[in-house]
Each structure stands twice: as C-alpha cells, then as structure tokens.
Amino acid sequence: MPMNKQLILASRPSGEASVDNFALRQQETPALQDGQVLVRHHYMSLDPYMRGRMNDAKSYAVPQPLNEVMVGGTVGEVVESRHAKFSVGDSVVGMGGWQEYSVVDGDAPGMLRKVDTTHVPLSHYLGAVGMPGVTAWYGLTQIIAPKAGETVTVSAASGAVGSAYGALAKARGCRVVGIAGGPEKCAYVVNELGFDACIDYKEHSDYLSLSKALRQACPDGIDGHFENVGGMVLDAVLLRTNAFARIAVCGMIAGYDGQPLPMVNPSLILINRIKVEGFIVSEHMELWPQALAELGALVGSGKLRPRETVAQGLESAPEAFLGLLKGKNFGKQLVKLI
Amino acid sequence: MPMNKQLILASRPSGEASVDNFALRQQETPALQDGQVLVRHHYMSLDPYMRGRMNDAKSYAVPQPLNEVMVGGTVGEVVESRHAKFSVGDSVVGMGGWQEYSVVDGDAPGMLRKVDTTHVPLSHYLGAVGMPGVTAWYGLTQIIAPKAGETVTVSAASGAVGSAYGALAKARGCRVVGIAGGPEKCAYVVNELGFDACIDYKEHSDYLSLSKALRQACPDGIDGHFENVGGMVLDAVLLRTNAFARIAVCGMIAGYDGQPLPMVNPSLILINRIKVEGFIVSEHMELWPQALAELGALVGSGKLRPRETVAQGLESAPEAFLGLLKGKNFGKQLVKLI
C-alpha cells in the first residue's frame, strides 16, 4: 500500500486564516474493497470557497470537520481498481481532497469521472473545464443571460472563473470588462484573455472612484455582473447598472474572515429594477454536461487559454491557499503532487 | 368652466419633505378639444413612491417637475366628454394628479379606464383593486412565486400593498407574517386581514432583536419576502431566510430622504442562494387585467377588506402625505375631494 500524505484542518481560524490551521499527517492507503478505486492525484485545486468551509458557521455547505482531510477537487490517474468501469491508467477528476491518494467508491454519483486528455490538459479539468468554468457558465447563462451587444463585468477577472467568463461572454457577442488587482493581471485580462477592458481596483481607494473608472470602461452602462468578491467592487458596479441588470453572486471573498461587509446602497436594486441572485454550482449538476461541452470546445479551439499558478508538493498547499485569498495567484491556483 | 384647485411642487426637499414644498393654486379648467374628457375627481391617492419623485435624482421615473401639478392616481366621474368611449356619469380611474379636475386624452393608452362600482367601492380602485393591489400581486406571484405551505413575510403589512399581499398569499396556502408599526396595526393585520402573525418593529431597537422575533413567528424560516421599507426590516429578514428564498423589492421608504441605508450582510444572498429583485409595477401593464380580476374577486367576496384613511379636501393632502411617510396612516391613504 502506498504511503499517503494528507493535510487536515487542525483548528478553525479566528479572523484571518493562517498556516497553523493546517497539519500534515501520513498514513498508508487502505486496501481496496469491491467497487473501490485508488486514485493517485496529479493536481489538487485550491479555491476561495474552501475558506468558507473552515468556519463553523451556517452556510450552504457543512463546515469542514476538524482533524479530517481538507475538502477539494483533484485530477489524477487510477493506480488500482476493483470497479469494472475504471482501469489502471484512466485519467479521472474527483473530489479527492488535500492528499496524494484517495480511495473512491466508483458507484457514488458525481464522485469520480473519466476525462479525455487528447485536447484538454489534465489540469484544466480543475479549472476552465471543471468547477470554476461551470461556475462562470452558470452565472453567465442562467442568471445574467446576456444579449449580444450588452456589457457584462466580472470581478477577479484573471482567475479561473473570470477567464472562463470572459471567453463565454465574448462568444455571445458581449462587451466584457474585467476588474482585477494590479497592472500585470489587467494586461493579461485584456491581451491574453480578450476582454475589452480591465480595471485595476488597487488604483482606487473607494467605491466612488472605482465607479468612475467603470463609467469610462462601460460607456453604455452595465447589464450583467458576475460577483466573485463583494464589498467595494459590488458597490461600484451597482452605481453603473442599467435598468433590469442581472447580478450573479458567486463569491464574497472579502467577507470570509468575518468582518462586516455591507452593501452601501441597496436601494439601487429597486431604482434600477435589478435582479441579484446567489448560486452554488454544485446544486445544478444537471447542467454540467452542457457547460463542460462548451468549455472543452473553447479550450480545444484555443479561444480560452487559461493561466495556471502551480505550487509544488502537498506541503506547499497552505501557503498557496492563503496567497489565493489575498489575490497573489495568477489564474487557476493548483498544487502539483507528482 | 369649473374652477379647479391644484397642488403643485413648489420646491424640492433637502432631507425631510415638508408642507412648504407644496403650493396651492386655482385656475379654470380649459375648454375640451375633440377626444378629450373632463373628469371630476372623487378621491386621489397618496403613495410612498411620490416622495421619490420629489427628488431631482436618477430613478426609475423622471422627477416631478417643479411648479406643475403633483403626479398621482385618481378616481372620479366623467362630467363632460368629447370622446365616444366615455359618457357623462361614467366612473373612471386615472392619473389625474393632486387636483380636483383633470382633462384627459381618451385615446392615450392606460390614462383613463372605466370601472364597475357594483361590487367594488370606487375608492378601492386606488388601493386593493388598483396600483397597490397589483403591486402586491406582481411581487408575490411573479417574483416570490410561493408554494403552498411556504412562509412569506411583508413589511408595512397594514398598508394598501401589505393587506392585498396577505389575502393573496393566504389564497395560495402560505403562512403569512406581517411586520408593522405599533400594536394597533399589528392587531388589525392579524384579526382583520387574516395574517398568521404580525411583528411590531417599533418594539425592536436593532435588526438582531427584530430577527429574533421573526424566528419565533416563522419557525420554518422565510421563503419569500416583500420589501416595502428597507433598512432594519430587510436586514432582519435576510437572517431568517431559507435556502432559495425570494425577495421582491418594492420600496425603500426609509432611504427617500437621502440618508445612507446600507444592507448589513449581503453575503447572505450567497450563503442562502437568495434572489433579490426590484420591480416597478407600471412596467408590467400586460399583467394588470389578470391581477385586477383576482383582486376584484377577493374584495367582492369579502376575503380582502382593505382599510382606508381618508383626509378631507385637497388642502389636507400635503399633511396627509407627510403622515403617510411616517406611517401615521392606517391602510390606504386617500384624499376625498367631493
């Protein structure tokens, strides 16, 4: 049995998360039972939602239990199988968690899926052709539902969700404007991801200033917005919305540490007859095949070239995760385990 | 030509509105041209939205022009007609404004409509079987769309919109909980309007306290909410929402005077996957006939017995309007002009 390194949640953060909230442990993988598959993880995914799970608070998902392996998406290869549908060498995507190996029940719905790496690199199944890509697809197509010619915006534009959002919106004939942190990310959003414009929120000290920049970048106003961050960005966007704008709320990263994060002017929801809707992509599994097909085609044709930031080795995960929460990554944050 | 008394907007409020913002004037009604109708107003309607129009700010409607007759709904009788569709003595509902008479183009769509007073008193066409009733109907059926057994709430529950909302929600098998100001209004909401419970927001100094009262009144959580007020009430309701709750935003009365009215915890929109949607009922005229038919039947059958507060004479309108903004009225606020 191979030795398996794991990262567990050792304590819950009070305020900002730190590396001390995680602990490394090591144990042999258990012998397989009938119907089980042993997967060796090549990459694991780091995502903002994990910060929410670290809290012991009411949310859309149960909290990450203490002293158990941190939850998370993984891609890898089957190294041992006692299930007829999976063979040694198969490339698979699943929810293996922060560890080098996982034992998966091959029959559990949605837990393990074979993927084709002919046109799409394996790691992209954790990003553009995985949960983040489907997240962008759901918010754009099911909540914002833009018409060609409309202007749509997205915060955290250079990230895994934002980059997929840009390609999906351009494919629908929209003007797409990103909001990101720093000139390097903004240049990437425009030059490599093909956004029409990108605003560096770090140049603005308050939402009114950011809102003025949005007015320049969105001369026809904002018809749809995808919110990954909350706070100042959302306040600034609300001021620039057109009548009947739609806002898909996917993330409130700035509020995860527990500080209050009010919406300054909710009366704009009435004044502009806005729809603001929160969603969790895992609650809409029936739409994933359709979304993944479109995202795979965009990657295969080169219209979506997602960037990745890759940390090396399981031990690097906590620091890489904390960096992600501070926007230090560039594109999809992964940890390479082989 | 009859002499016509009118109230005009003489100045815009800075902060709280006052009687000095209005001025009385008097002029003869003009001679009718072909296609026009002269209406003598029996009642005029006072509504919270009028406060928004008094500001010179971007909103869903153009501001009320200075030195012109205040906008508003009216019911009355045709006293002279040069239009084939209208005869002297017809009961009509329209947007005659704050004056005793109006001259209306009989062909202008939606400006003048004949109504039947056999089963529904004329004044109710300004309330339960008029714009406020349709407002409640739209928010409940088109945005909240409750299932039988769900719990729905409404602020300003004893008002024209709230009372219609309660009857419409009970007809759909919902648990309906109101929020209103003072024990007298709360008793009326439960005993006469048939709500399951009503909370007196004046007993609570902050949204956390109000939220605790909501938890008792809504033991299964809140599935839908109709917001007429904003501020503390909306913050308290958000804390008690169930997953996939729907919030129809119809009014933000507490913010009309320009003071900031933030939403304390917008991250609940994500955590509970809530849809928050603002709307203006006049943008959905195609649904009015369906809504008015249901509301007329509820009033005709006695299932909706709306209360009215009636001020006497045009001169009483400014003070009655300012009282409405402070919640001094009880049910639909009208001004009787004959």
Tens-place pLDDT, residues B307-331? 999 999 999 999 999 999 888 888 8
Same-domain pairing of B150 and B278: yes
Give the best residue of B271, B273, B284 to mutate against chain A (max A CB count within 10 A).
B271
A252 with B265: Cβ contact below 8 A = no
- Within a domain: residue B298? no
pLDDT at A74: 97
Count of domains forming chain A: 2
- Within a domain: residue A20? yes
Tell whether the model's pLDDT for residue B248 goes beyond 60: yes
Give the best residue of A276, A280, A281 to mutate against chain B (max B CB count within 10 A).
A276
> Which residues on A lie below 8 Å from B271 (Cβ)?
58-60, 278
Q: Which of A263, A275, A280 is nearest residue B263 as measured by Cβ atoms?
A: A263
Residue B133 backbone phi and psi in degrees, to 5? -60, -45
Tens-digit pLDDT string for chain A (338 aa): 789 999 999 999 988 999 999 999 999 999 999 999 999 999 999 998 899 899 887 666 788 999 999 999 999 999 999 999 999 999 999 999 999 999 999 998 778 999 999 989 999 999 999 999 999 999 999 999 999 999 999 999 999 999 999 999 999 999 999 999 999 999 999 999 999 999 999 999 999 999 999 999 999 999 999 999 889 999 999 999 999 999 999 988 655 556 668 999 999 999 999 999 999 998 999 999 999 999 999 999 999 989 999 999 999 999 999 999 888 888 899 999 99
> Which residues on A lie below 8 Å from B235 (Cβ)?
none
- Within a domain: residue B295? no
Give the best residue of B208, B276, B280 to mutate against chain A (max A CB count within 10 A).
B276
Which residue from A minimizes the CA distance to B231? A266
Same-domain pairing of A136 and A123: no
- Within a domain: residue A77? yes
Share of chain A above pLDDT 90, in %: 84
Share of chain B above pLDDT 90, in %: 84
Q: Which residues contact B161 (CB under 8 A, 6 or more apart)?
A: B132, B133, B135, B136, B154, B226, B228, B250, B251
pLDDT at A254: 54
A250 with B271: Cβ contact below 8 A = no
A266 with B263: Cβ contact below 8 A = yes
pLDDT at A61: 72
A252 with B267: Cβ contact below 8 A = yes
B262 with A262: Cβ contact below 8 A = yes
Decide: B58 and A271 in contact? Cβ < 8 Å.
Answer: yes
Same-domain pairing of B87 and B213: no
Same-domain pairing of A202 and A310: no
Which residue from B minimizes the CA distance to A61? B271
Average pLDDT of span B128-154: 97
Q: Which of B261, B272, B274 is nearest residue A267 as measured by Cβ atoms?
A: B261
> Which residues on A lie below 8 Å from B236 (Cβ)?
none
Give the best residue of B60, B269, B272, B279 to mutate against chain A (max A CB count within 10 A).
B269
> Which residues on B lie below 8 Å from A59 (Cβ)?
271
Tell whether the model's pLDDT for residue B14 goes beyond 90: no
> Which residues on A lie below 8 Å from B243 (Cβ)?
60
Same-domain pairing of A313 and A227: no
Same-domain pairing of A20 and A57: yes
Average pLDDT of span B12-17: 90
Average pLDDT of span B239-248: 98
B216 or B109: which leads in pLDDT: B216
**Distance between the two ends of chain B, CA-based, in angstroms?**
17
pLDDT at B135: 97
B275: confidence class by pLDDT, cuts 50, 70, 90: very high
Q: Tens of pLDDT along B29-88?
A: 999 999 999 999 999 999 988 998 998 876 667 789 999 999 999 999 999 999 999 999
d(CA A154, CA A137): 12
- Within a domain: residue A146? yes
Residue B301, classified by CB atoms within 10 Å of its CB into exposed (0-12), middle (13-18) or buried (19+), is: exposed
B271 with A60: Cβ contact below 8 A = yes
- Within a domain: residue A293? no
Average pLDDT of span B116-137: 94
Determine the distance in angstroms separating the CA of A38 from the nearest CA of chain B, rounded to an integer. Answer: 34
d(CA A192, CA A239): 29
d(CA A166, CA A326): 22
Determine the distance in angstroms separating the CA of A116 from the nearest CA of chain B, rounded to an integer. Answer: 33
pLDDT at B57: 76
Residue A310, classified by CB atoms within 10 Å of its CB into exposed (0-12), middle (13-18) or buried (19+), is: middle
List the CATH number of the domain containing A33: 3.90.180.10
A59 with B278: Cβ contact below 8 A = no
A267 with B275: Cβ contact below 8 A = no
B101: confidence class by pLDDT, cuts 50, 70, 90: very high
A280 with B272: Cβ contact below 8 A = no
Decide: B127 and B44 in contact? Cβ < 8 Å.
Answer: no
Same-domain pairing of B137 and B258: yes
d(CA B75, CA B92): 6
- DSSP result, B90-109: -EEEE---SBSEEEEETTST
Give the best residue of A215, A268, A270, A281 to mutate against chain B (max B CB count within 10 A).
A270
Same-domain pairing of A260 and A146: yes
Q: CA Rg, chain A, in Å?
A: 20
Q: What's the Cα-to-Cα distance from B61 to each of A66, B108, B109, B205, rounded to whole Å?
A: 54, 19, 18, 33
Enclosing H/E stretch for A267: helix A267-271
B266 with A262: Cβ contact below 8 A = yes
Domain of residue A87 covers 3-127+306-336
pLDDT at A256: 54
So what's the ipTM on this one? Answer: 0.88
Cα torsion through A225, A226, A227, A233, rounded to 10: -40
pLDDT at A259: 66
> Which residues on B lie below 8 Å from A262 (Cβ)?
262-266
Tell whether the model's pLDDT for residue B254 goes beyond 60: no
pLDDT at B237: 98
> Which residues on A lie below 8 Å from B273 (Cβ)?
60, 277-280, 283
Q: What's the Cα-to-Cα distance from B279 to each of A107, A208, A268, A277, rounded to whole Å?
A: 46, 25, 11, 15
Residue A212 backbone phi and psi in degrees, to 5? -65, -40
Look at residue B288 and give its three-state secondary structure: helix
A273 with B58: Cβ contact below 8 A = no
Which residue from B minimizes the CA distance to A53? B271
Same-domain pairing of A114 and A215: no
Decide: A129 and A202 in contact? Cβ < 8 Å.
Answer: no
Q: What's the Cα-to-Cα distance from A75 to each of A2, A112, A312, rounded to whole Å?
A: 18, 9, 15
pLDDT at A257: 57
List the CATH number of the domain containing B263: 3.40.50.720
Q: Length of chain B in residues, anyone?
A: 338
B230 with A267: Cβ contact below 8 A = yes
- Within a domain: residue A299? no
Determine the distance in angstroms separating the CA of A180 from the nearest CA of chain B, rounded to an integer. Answer: 20
B277 with A269: Cβ contact below 8 A = yes
Determine the distance in angstroms separating the CA of B235 from the nearest CA of chain A, rounded to an integer. Answer: 10
- Within a domain: residue A301? no
Same-domain pairing of A24 and A121: yes
Q: Which of B59, B260, B261 is nearest residue A271 as measured by Cβ atoms?
A: B59
Both structure tokens of A222: 């904002």
> Which residues on B lie below 8 Å from A272 (Cβ)?
60, 278
B265 with A269: Cβ contact below 8 A = no
Same-domain pairing of B14 and B105: yes
Size of interface A-B (CB pairs under 8 A): 97
Average pLDDT of span B187-204: 96
Q: pTM for the complete prediction?
A: 0.89
Same-domain pairing of A232 and A246: yes
> Which residues on A lie below 8 Å from B58 (Cβ)?
271
